[in-house]
Structure 1
């Protein structure tokens, strides 16, 4: 990855740029029946959602890198992730 000068941005701006570039994404969420893939960062999801925190850090934590979420529209999940 070329230098993106992330250090000159706010944390939120740097995280969004990394999401847009899929830099260091470590999980893929699949949305809807069509299983639209959305790559993202576990740490960001877990820090902002108690459901994702439990999903990644709880006693029944997901061990895979692809997490299906069939009952949400891809556009809604993409908006949430952003």
Structure 2
């Protein structure tokens, strides 16, 4: 009888986390819907048009690559 009680307690302890994961808490939807700002396409395109074009192309790997022209070696 003692071993049966110990086995029942062990099974109950093992099953408790499993039951807790399956439960969904709460009553009702207390979540408030957040209002997202409306996207103004005209203003977005106008802002993109105001960005100036770069005069020369930026090369982020320019320092790591060897120069194409051997006459222009950095010191």
Mark yes or no: TM-score above 0.5. no
Larger radius of gyration: 2
The structure with more strand, counted as a fraction of residues: 1
**Larger RCO of the pair (alpha carbons < 8 Å, separation 6+):** 1
